[in-house]
Amino acid sequence: MGLSLELKPLEVVGYVVSDIIGLIVFFWLMPNFAVAIIASIFVSFHLFLAWLVITAEHETGFSLPVVSTIITHLACLLIVYFCSTLVIALSGAGIFLPIYLWMILRPIRYVLAICIPGIAVFERFWLFSGKVTKKEVLPVTAPIKTIIAEATADDHAEWLQFVARQPRPFPRPGTTLQTEYERWMVARAKSRPTAS
């Protein structure tokens, strides 16, 4: 499955839960209206972004380096901040506008405040949309049998010296000594000059 901007049902649940937590933060900070709006939107945005990154299918690696990822996140935070100040501006517009316009802007303000954390979907898309794929470890099968069959006593003695030396690098978790021996033999065979 490729990465897309569509939300799966579990992600929609994460979006609703993050918005509910944002509303709880809003009512907790209510006496200071501007801080309450900005804090609740930022909390719900970060909760939803964390949910998306944790539950994402990581078929590709991060498409951006760390510095670019931080800059992208700061740019998204700037967009979230401007949208939340727009919500604050729409909240105070009732003083200057006629009542019929204020009644139209009131639902727009609520919808905008609830939809702002959706910017996290775009940020997740930018983080994982690159053409960088995870490195796959492909087992070498064909030449191993012939290399092992052609192994000499000198190869075995050098393998024992390799295993016996102290600062030996740790093998990958889950690999056996036989697999490590086969990899060592393949690397040794590749390093030998070919006779032609």
Q: What is the mean pLDDT of each run of 10 residues along the chain (196 residues)?
A: 67 90 88 86 91 75 76 90 85 70 77 86 78 53 67 81 71 73 78 62
Residues 46 and 105 in one domain: yes
Residues 147 and 100 in one domain: no
Q: Following CA atoms 188, 191, 192, 193 in sequence, which dihedral angle do they give, to the nearest 10 degrees?
A: 170
Residue 151 tokens, joined: 């192994």
Query: What pLDDT digit, counting tens, does each position of 117-165 carry?
Result: 888 888 888 777 665 555 555 554 556 777 777 777 888 788 888 777 7
Looking at residue 133, its amino acid is T
Scored b (16 or more CB within 10 A) or e, 154-190 reads ebeeebeeeeeeeeeeeeeeeeeeeebbbbebeeebe
Determine the pLDDT at residue 42.
92
Residues 90 and 14 in one domain: yes
Residues 114 and 164 in one domain: no
Residues 112 and 149 in one domain: no
Single pTM value for the model: 0.59
Determine the pLDDT at residue 47.
92
Residues 158 and 181 in one domain: yes
Residues 27 and 108 in one domain: yes
What is the count of structural domains for the chain?
2
Which neighbouring-strand residues pair with 60?
Answer: 133
Residues 66 and 112 in one domain: yes
Residue 166 belongs to domain spanning: 142-191
The verdict on residue 3 lying in a domain is: no
Residues 106 and 18 in one domain: yes
Residues 46 and 124 in one domain: yes
**Rounded to an integer, what distance in angstroms lies between the CA atom of residue 72 and that of residue 74?**
5
Q: What is the 3-state secondary structure (H, E, C) of 44-64?
A: HHHHHHHHHHHHCCCCECCCC
Answer yes or no: are the C-beta atoms of 55 and 1 closer than 8 Å.
no
Determine the pLDDT at residue 121.
87
* Of 24, 11, 87, nearest in space to 51 by CA: 11
The verdict on residue 1 lying in a domain is: no
Residues 95 and 124 in one domain: yes
**Rounded to an integer, what distance in angstroms lies between the CA atom of residue 158 and that of residue 7?**
56
Residue 70 tokens, joined: 């931080």
Determine the pLDDT at residue 191.
74
Looking at residue 194, its amino acid is T
The verdict on residue 92 lying in a domain is: yes
Determine the pLDDT at residue 18.
92
> What are the DSSP calls for 80-147, one per residue?
HHHHHHHHHHHHHGGGTS-HHHHHHHHHHHHHHHHHGGGHHHHHHHHHH-SS-BPPP-----HHHHHH
Residues 156 and 77 in one domain: no
